[in-house]
A and B are shown apart, each in its own frame.
Chain A
């Protein structure tokens, strides 16, 4: 798949405050820098497994910022670090999660890294079995509707995961009951080694919305602002009882599938180079700078702060205690 041409709209046309644009940039960059550090730690042998979202940060931040943090629910998948940051996760927490430390608030060392979940932040923990969370999101939306609670649930997955029955069953169920779910598909072109053509027979994943009688949209997932606008509209409509929605963000997996993968076996280097030129973070920086929204010094300052935050988080988290072996035995059943 080739990289789509970027939008030429000036940022001022989008009615996003300077503050929102700054937050967008910061979340994207923080996610990227955390992922880079995690991969480095993996190569140094201190983190057994890393799965990252490089190339998908614009899609993730644009989508998550369209939700109401503290009200809405997020059922993310393993690449959605940037979404979790928008929902309140700190750099230190992300590193605790990577190292599976005792104090990792997500699972205290039980889940694989990147399987986030924190009840108080409305982030739903997930199985490693792909697409299962789409049904949980549907159920959460059903419960909210039954309780007349005006929340919206966003459920995320990759395009490859839309081959699963759970994807179909979730869309079908949510559509029949008009549930407030945003199904957000991050189409990064690959499911491990398999190109999107082997996973999805239609041109766009979002074309499938028609089969369920719901609205669908395909957006440029390398453009955080465009993603934000599209998801925002869908969220507003869903909150008014006009959901669900299927949104596909076309982005690209800039790195290998995970720290265990060697993508040179199956991915042409030219394709990678073409997409790397459209790195969403680089594009965003160029735009806010060219549109005169932020001077380069401001952006450099943000970058320096983030670098420091990431360095501190890694060093601090590594020194935190591991869980005690005896902790393996608890929480199988809740006292009833």
Chain B
């Protein structure tokens, strides 16, 4: 075990995978000397050289498309997009090719590629730079969607992503890169996909989050306990696809209440999917309708006041819980 930041845990995973498998290479904008826009790849160019840590032109569709080709050609590419916002430019390559080639070729061609990107609002990056698209990617059959909330998960899940035979959309939250946590240093440390993490046990209500919202849910749980004497269970989904619905259902059957917390817009978001599955599987156990705490259905503005007004907070989670008790 070693204490490290989220970004360092990601870097360790990349290093170990570059060492383990010589088919692995990294490409993206400013990932070389610059070390990536969130300093995840710092030092890797020096260690592994420009063939395996490649700076690319600003051409998101181009580098994802070329990544797909490289995967078809026998390599194990990791493509870093500076932020998830620019993945819209590569959406056709991701959705129509990476996610479907295996199906369309009746199993002849698979695309083992890892796409890493930073997601989320709250950093004053404004409307075109602050999307939360975890739920959108989970909507597409053929993709796996991973969104770690802490350093250990970041490492274990990223290492697992390189061992997948499919395209893995690996989503990091911009506000988490600096957080610290204990991370196993065993090079075989891996976290399987589809295994949610019960971050905190409780009996009165289940708070469900992923990526950055796990922290809001956890802070809300602390507030609920200290201020209201309410015991909240917190679940970190870790991966949206595959989704570990069993862990959620087990918890809801125990607490009889569920609140879903996400940065994303509420309308048509992943919270709606979760809520429906809870309803389908645990309707008789629910003492209140499932609640969703999410971003307002507006593009995210830049000004602090405005951005704050548009994003969910732990106070909103507490309020939602109190309203259902």
Contact residues of A with B, CB < 8 Å?
A: 48-49, 100-101, 107, 109-113, 115, 127-131, 160-161, 163-165, 191-194, 198-199, 265-266, 322-329, 332
Bound-state CA distance A131–B62 (Å) is 15
Residues of B within 8 A of A193 (CB): 30, 32-34, 55
Q: Can you show 26 pairs from A to B with CB atoms below 8 A apart?
A: A49-B124, A100-B302, A109-B302, A109-B303, A109-B305, A109-B306, A110-B299, A110-B303, A111-B126, A111-B302, A112-B126, A129-B85, A164-B89, A165-B61, A192-B29, A194-B29, A194-B34, A265-B33, A265-B35, A322-B304, A324-B305, A325-B306, A325-B309, A328-B296, A328-B298, A329-B298
Residues of B within 8 A of A192 (CB): 29-30, 34, 37
Asked if B305 and A322 make an inter-chain contact with CB atoms under 8 angstroms apart, the answer reads yes
B108 at the interface (CB under 8 A from A): no
Majority secondary structure of chain A interface residues (helix, strand, loop or mixed): loop
The 4 A-B pairs with the shortest beta carbon distances in the complex, nearest first, are A163-B57, A193-B34, A109-B303, A325-B309
Bound-state CA distance A100–B302 (Å) is 7
Asked if B55 and A328 make an inter-chain contact with CB atoms under 8 angstroms apart, the answer reads no
Bound-state CA distance A194–B111 (Å) is 28
Bound-state CA distance A129–B298 (Å) is 18
Given contact pairs A193-B55, A329-B309, a sample of 17 additional A-B residue pairs in the complex whose CB atoms are under 8 Å apart = A49-B124, A100-B303, A109-B301, A110-B126, A110-B302, A111-B127, A112-B302, A160-B57, A163-B59, A164-B89, A194-B29, A199-B58, A265-B34, A323-B301, A323-B303, A328-B309, A332-B297
B217 at the interface (CB under 8 A from A): no
Residue of B nearest to A322 (CB): B305
Bound-state CA distance A157–B310 (Å) is 31
Q: State whether A323 and B58 are in contact (beta carbons under 8 Å apart), knowing that A110-B127, A111-B127, A128-B128 are contacts in the complex.
A: no
Q: By CB atoms of chain B within 10 A, which of A113, A160, A325 has the most?
A: A325
Residues of B within 8 A of A129 (CB): 85-86, 88-89, 128
Bound-state CA distance A327–B304 (Å) is 12
Bound-state CA distance A49–B303 (Å) is 11
Residues of A within 8 A of B127 (CB): 110-111
Residues of A within 8 A of B62 (CB): 163, 165
Q: By CB atoms of chain B within 10 A, which of A163, A198, A328 has the most?
A: A328
Bound-state CA distance A111–B35 (Å) is 27
Shortest beta-carbon distance from A212 to chain B in Å: 18
Bound-state CA distance A105–B127 (Å) is 17
Shortest beta-carbon distance from A311 to chain B in Å: 24
Bound-state CA distance A332–B295 (Å) is 14
B125 at the interface (CB under 8 A from A): yes
Residues of B within 8 A of A323 (CB): 301, 303, 305-306
Residues of B within 8 A of A101 (CB): 303
Bound-state CA distance A59–B290 (Å) is 58
Shortest beta-carbon distance from B314 to chain A in Å: 17
